[in-house]
Amino acid sequence: MAQVKQTDQVIASNEAIAEVISGLDNTLSEVRGTLESGFSMLGTGLQEICFAVDDGFREVSYKLDLQNETLQAIKEILEKPLDTQAKELRKRAEFAYLNDWMDEAEVDLLESEKKNYQDFIALHILGNIYYHHRKNHQKALEYYQKAAKYAAPQSKRDTCKALLCAAKVYKELGKLEDSYKSTRLALDILPEDTHNLFNHAAYAATTRHIDESIDYLKKAILKDPTCLIAADSDERFSDVEQEKEKLKRDLRDEQKQTVEHLKQKINSLKQDFELAKKVAEELGITDFTAFMKDLASLDNELAEIEKLFTLGYFDLLKAEQVAGNIYNEGLKVYERNIEEWMKIKNVYLNKLKAKEAEISNRLSFIFGEGCFLFFFFWWIMIPYAIVAAPIKWYKLDAIRGEIGKENNTIAKLSNLKKK
C-alpha cells in the first residue's frame, strides 16, 4: 500500500488513485465497479493484471476462461477425435472443478488424461488443482509444462498462459532464472501480449535484468496503463524500485509532450478558423453565427485540457484522449463551415448561370429566329435590335464576369479545406 500511495504522489491525481486503491482492497466485483466508474477510459486492464499477479485471481480467471466462447470452440475441436468416454470424463471434471469439487475433478481429469494425453485444457486444470489446492508445486509444474507443450500447435494464448503459470511455480520453488526463461518463451510466442510483457518484466526484475525489466514494463504500461498500478502492488519489482520511479516520471513527461503536441494542433486549427473567417469575409460571406459558436467551443474545450494537463499520468492519458477528440471534431466542424460557405456561393452561382442562359436565349432569338421575323415585322425588329440587343450584350458580359468571379471565390474557399 505504501508503494501505491507513493505512486499517487508522483504520477497520478489523488482522486483517481484513491478509487483504484479502494477497488484493490475489495472483492473482484468491486474492482470491476471501480474501474468502470473511475477508469472507464482504461477498460478492464487492471482486472486482467490482477489475475496475472495474484494466485487466487489467476485461478478465477481460468475458470472464467473455461466458459468463454473462444475456449469453447477449441474444446469442440479437441473433442472431435476423442471417444465418448474421454469426452464425458473431461466435461464432468470441468463441471466439478467449476463447482470446487476438487477431489472429483482430479479423479476424472487423471482418467481423461489416460485416454487423451494431448488435452491441454485438462492438463492445465490439473496444474491449477495441484498448485492452488494440493500445494504440490512439483506436480503442478509438471502439468503446466505438459499443457504448454500440447497447446503450442493449437493455441498460442493457452500456451502462454501455461508458461506464465509455470513461471509462478518456478518462483515458489526458488528457481527464478527458470521463471525468467519461462516468461521469455511466452514473450517469444506472443510478443505484444500485455500479460507476457508485464510478467517477463517482473521476473526480469527478480533476476536483476534491470534494463530489460524496465523496458518491458514500459511496453506493458503503454499497452495498458493499469500495469503501472499493478507494478506498485507486485513485490517482484521490489529490487528495481528506483528505476521504476524514474520510469513513472519519464512516462509522465512523455505523456505531457504528447498532450502538448495535441494542444499545438488545436491552437493551429484555431488559427485556421480565424484565417478562414478573414478570407470568407473578403469573399462576401456575411453570416458567421455558427462559425463563431464553433470557434468558442474550441476555446472552452482547450481550457478543460489545461486543467488535466497540470495533474498526473492518468489524467494526462485522459487529456490525450480528450484533446484527440477535440481536434478531430474541430476539424470536422471546420470542414463543415467551409462546405456551407461553398453551398451559399454555389446557390448564387447557379442563379447567375440561369440569368446568363436566359439572356443568351433572348439574344439567340434576336439573331436567330428574329431574322426570319424581320421580313414581316421590320418596323418592330429594327428598333429592338438597335436598342435592346446592346443592352442585353452588356448585361450578359457583366453576368459572365460575375460568374467568373464566383467560380474564383468557390475555388478559394475550396483551397481553405484541409482534406
State residue 124's pLDDT score: 94
Positions of the chain with pLDDT lower than 50, given as ranges: 1-57, 370, 372-381, 387
- pLDDT at residue 29, as a whole number: 39
Predicted local distance difference test score (pLDDT) of residue 43? 35
pLDDT at position 1: 38
Domain spanning 44-233: which superfamily? Answer: Tetratricopeptide repeat domain (1.25.40.10)
Burial degree of 212 (CB within 10 A; 0-12, 13-18, 19+) = middle
CA 220 to chain centroid: 15
Coil/strand/helix, residue 310: coil
pLDDT tens figures, 194-247: 999 999 999 999 999 999 999 999 999 999 999 999 999 999 999 999 999 999
pLDDT digits (tens, 9 = 90+) for 283-340: 777 777 877 877 787 777 777 777 776 667 888 888 888 888 888 888 888 888 888 8
Output the nine-digit C-alpha cell for 45: 486492464
**CA–CA distance, 183 with 185 (Å, rounded to integer):** 5
CA distances from 237 to 10, 40, 72, 222, 301 (A): 17, 27, 35, 18, 39
- Residue 70 is predicted with a pLDDT of 57
Residue 363, pLDDT score? 62
Any idea of the CA torsion for 406, 387, 382, 384, to the nearest 10 degrees? 60
Amino acid sitting at position 398: A
Q: Please state the pTM of the whole predicted model.
A: 0.64
Strand ranges in 254-358 using DSSP code E only, listed in sequence order: none
